[in-house]
Amino acid sequence: MSDKPHLNSEYKNIIVKEVDNGNALKTGLIQLNRPDALNALNIELMKEVVDTLELFDKDPEVGCMVITGNEKAFAAGADIKEMADASTIEMLLRDQFARWDRIRKIKKPIIAAVSGFALGGGCELAMSCDMIVASDSAQFGQPEIKLGVIPGAGGTQRLTKAIGKAKAMEMILTGKFYSASDMFNAGLVTKVVPKEVFLDEALELSAEICKMPTIAVQLGKESVLKSFDLTIESGLELERKNFYLLFASEDKFEGMKAFVEKRKANWKGK
Ligand code: CAA
């Protein structure tokens, strides 16, 4: 029995594991587990996901996280049945998407391993991650328009920033589904792989990141994400300050010394 609360909890909608990848740091794995509803993201599931991401973020044994679904569905969107009868005031009071904002505060990288449907909130959850590894059977879409609404968990903003106005407008206004290779070509997806190995490939990418010095990884992630909010001037300032900040880390001295001495670096994570 682990003493880590996220590994002991009896989650109803997700399966949580730490995957040993042969490095000092492990991968924190979250599998969405409502297969009968194509992993529709109900409020309880999202609470479990966000709470677990925060626990992994604080866990010194974890270097990177992977969120996945199953072969048929990453997630087919927010739970429509939970919203079908809701009024504006109920939705305002529920404020269910506020929880999603906490994903933006996670410091360690998160990879979405996507197979099958990534629709609506499912596509938005994948876009809230830092990279998407997609199986060749993955289908991405923002079909909210067909329900009489629009994306509500970041889709209009993140999709437009990731793939540009022309394609984002088409996706959001038609609700059509797009293949993994379309979305790779559009710049949404990091890598497309055969469906048999999509999770292994995502775990392999995570293992590569787990080999890297953690503070540099986190400041690299922060600097890239800030490029969405900042002007080029302010973004370059932030990058430079983060670059100089890393000269205070023990890993910077070790990394450069190891290069000069032609040996592998021994990271301390500080
Ligand atoms: N919410 C709740 N339940 C869902 C769901 C969703 N988003 N997507 C699928 N399900 C359920 C179905 O109701 C069905 O349950 P029952 O067996 O109890 O009827 C089960 O999952 C299987 O689904 P289908 O029978 O429809 O499976 P299919 O293979 O025929 O079709 C699909 C698959 C094309 C993905 C279809 O299920 C579908 O269109 N789903 C809805 C997609 C969608 O509109 N997503 C956006 C939701 S709104 C949103 O996400 C807002 C936001 O921005 C956050």
Q: How many CB atoms lie within 10 A of CB 176?
A: 16
Nearest residue (by CA) to ligand 1, atom 38, is 76
| Sheet containing 117-119: order of strands | 73-75, 117-119, 139-141, 177-179
Q: Identify the CA nearest to 128 among candidates 63, 221, 58.
A: 221
Give residue 37 CA to ligand 1 midpoint distance, Å: 7
Q: Which residue from 13, 38, 146 has its CB within 8 A of the most atoms of ligand 1, so it is best to mutate?
A: 38
Establish whether 148 is a catalytic residue.
no
Is residue 115 a contact partner of residue 138, using CB atoms and an 8 Å limit? yes
pLDDT over 90 at 8, yes or no: no
Residue 4 pLDDT grade (very low, low, confident, very high; cuts 50, 70, 90): confident
Residue 45 pLDDT grade (very low, low, confident, very high; cuts 50, 70, 90): very high
Q: 80: Cβ below 6 Å to ligand 1?
A: yes
Establish whether 78 is a catalytic residue.
yes
The number of C-alpha atoms within 13 Å of 236 and in the hemisphere containing its C-beta is: 3
Residue 47 pLDDT grade (very low, low, confident, very high; cuts 50, 70, 90): very high
Q: Across the chain, what does the average pLDDT equal?
A: 96
Question: How far are the Cα atoms of 131, 177, 200, 213, 221 from residue 235, in angstroms, in the given order?
Answer: 20, 34, 34, 22, 13
Tokens of 36: 């009968």
Nearest residue (by CA) to ligand 1, atom 44, is 143
Q: 145: Cβ below 6 Å to ligand 1?
A: no
Establish whether 18 is a catalytic residue.
no
Is residue 223 a contact partner of residue 242, using CB atoms and an 8 Å limit? yes
Residue 3 pLDDT grade (very low, low, confident, very high; cuts 50, 70, 90): confident
The confidence score (pLDDT) of residue 213 equals 96
Q: 127: Cβ below 6 Å to ligand 1?
A: no
pLDDT tens figures, 191-233: 999 999 999 999 999 999 999 999 999 999 999 999 999 999 9
The confidence score (pLDDT) of residue 1 equals 58
Q: Which residue from 80, 99, 114 has its CB within 8 A of the most atoms of ligand 1, so it is best to mutate?
A: 80
Tokens of 95: 């404020």
The confidence score (pLDDT) of residue 205 equals 98
Q: 41: Cβ below 6 Å to ligand 1?
A: no
Tokens of 191: 């890598």
Establish whether 10 is a catalytic residue.
no
Looking at the DSSP bridge assignments, the partners of residue 179 are: 139
Please name each of the domains of the chain with its CATH number.
5-210 (3.90.226.10), 214-260 (1.10.12.10)
The number of C-alpha atoms within 13 Å of 198 and in the hemisphere containing its C-beta is: 28
Residue 10 pLDDT grade (very low, low, confident, very high; cuts 50, 70, 90): confident
Task: Give the atom of ligand 1 at the shortest distance from the alpha carbon of 119.
Answer: 45
Spot the catalytic one: 40, 73, 75, 78.
Answer: 78
